[in-house]
């Protein structure tokens, strides 16, 4: 239900943290989400939300519980996001945002892990293992977006704090990414509701995008060694029309993690990904 620039929402929806996560799935820049989104995002949860968009500024609030489906997303909490657009002209747009999320962990346990830049990969090169005696997880996010004609520059950084009971040490982890997209044919990026959008071709003829992303995560803190990783991704998207696109990514991974016995595990795979995406 929309009330002018304000809105209320109830049901299962994306919680307001993460510029990449909140952007339309139809226009994913790369095949796999960046490390901050994979590690710290909560995605869609059942809850209540409120927000407002005044073009040059806006905010959104969410109170949520578990996933509606029988998925891994459990534990209730809240999330809030605010943004300003100090530059909004016909030539360019600059957007800056902040977000916070607080989650009461399910069964007082938590595990941070991520695949190596490929959703179909079985291995988790980053993995804290199962953390017990966890009270809450609190995540802070910053985001910067710059749009100028066919070019989009996007950056996010997230820091999470895991509060644990008793004498068990708390744990901090961080992650961030930088990405750049170019619409080769000159299609202009747009901006709505604090998010980037792009007009897609209605008929055959297509729209080609080229992109670069660098994302990094550090899950090491004190004696808990979840690992560190950096992903370099080169990507190309070809939108045939509004509901069909082909994507190709090359991902170079650099990762380091200490096993339980202290042995350093180094794994630096190279990955090629292809995807055909159709939606209706």
The neighbouring-strand residues paired with 275 are 247
Confirm if 131 and 113 have CB atoms less than 8 A apart. Answer: no
Confirm if 264 and 234 have CB atoms less than 8 A apart. Answer: no
**Distance between the two ends of the chain, CA-based, in angstroms?**
23
Cβ atoms within 10 Å, residue 273: 19
What percent of the chain clears pLDDT 70, i.e. is strictly above it? 96
| Non-local CB neighbours of 48 within 8 Å, separated by 6+ positions | 8, 9, 10, 62, 63, 64
pLDDT of 73 = 67
Question: Tell me: the pLDDT tens digits for 42-61?
Answer: 889 999 999 999 889 999 99
For residue 2, name the pLDDT band (cuts at 50, 70, 90): very low
CA distance 249 to 241: 20
- List helix spans (H) across the chain: 19-22, 35-40
Confirm if 51 and 63 have CB atoms less than 8 A apart. Answer: no
Residue 39's φ and ψ, nearest 5 degrees, are: -85, -40
User: Residue 89 in 3-state DSSP?
Assistant: coil
- Whether residue 1 has pLDDT greater than 80: no
pLDDT of 55 = 83
Question: Tell me: the pLDDT tens digits for 137-164?
Answer: 999 999 999 999 999 999 999 999 999 8
CA distance 140 to 137: 10
Q: How far is CA 34 from CA 80, 232, 239, 259, in A?
A: 20, 10, 21, 24
Question: What number is the average pLDDT over the span 89-96?
Answer: 95
pLDDT of 4 = 47
- What secondary structure letter does DSSP report for 214? E
Confirm if 126 and 255 have CB atoms less than 8 A apart. Answer: yes
Strands 2-3 and 190-192, bridge-based pairing: unpaired
| Residue recorded with tokens 């409120």 | 50
pTM (2 d.p.): 0.92
Q: How far is CA 6 from CA 37, 67, 128, 213, 263, in A?
A: 26, 25, 40, 33, 54
């Amino acid at each position: 239900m929309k009330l002018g620039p304000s809105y209320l929402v109830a049901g299962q929806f994306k919680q307001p943290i993460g510029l990449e996560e909140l952007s339309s799935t139809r226009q994913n820049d790369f095949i796999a989400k960046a490390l901050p989104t994979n590690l710290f995002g909560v995605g869609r949860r059942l809850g209540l939300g409120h927000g407002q968009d005044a073009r040059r500024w806006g905010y959104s609030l969410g109170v949520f519980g578990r996933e509606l489906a029988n998925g891994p997303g459990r534990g209730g909490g809240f999330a809030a996001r605010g943004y300003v657009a100090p530059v909004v002209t016909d030539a360019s747009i600059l957007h800056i945002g902040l977000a916070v999320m607080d989650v009461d962990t399910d069964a007082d346990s938590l595990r941070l892990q991520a695949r190596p830049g490929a959703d179909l990969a079985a291995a988790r090169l980053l993995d804290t293992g199962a953390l017990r005696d966890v009270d809450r997880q609190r995540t802070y996010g910053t985001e910067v977006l710059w749009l100028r004609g066919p070019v989009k520059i996007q950056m996010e950084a997230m820091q999470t704090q895991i509060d644990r009971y008793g004498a068990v040490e708390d744990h901090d982890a961080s992650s961030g990414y930088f990405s750049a997209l170019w619409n080769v044919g000159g299609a202009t990026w747009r901006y709505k509701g604090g998010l980037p959008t792009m007009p897609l071709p209605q008929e055959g003829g297509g729209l080609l995008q080229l992109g670069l992303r660098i994302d990094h995560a550090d899950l090491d803190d004190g004696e808990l060694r979840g690992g560190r990783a950096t992903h370099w991704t080169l990507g190309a998207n070809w939108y045939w029309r509004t509901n069909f696109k082909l994507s190709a990514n090359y991902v170079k991974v650099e990762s380091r993690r200490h096993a339980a016995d202290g042995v350093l595990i180094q794994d630096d795979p190279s990955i090629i990904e292809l995807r055909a995406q159709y939606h209706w």
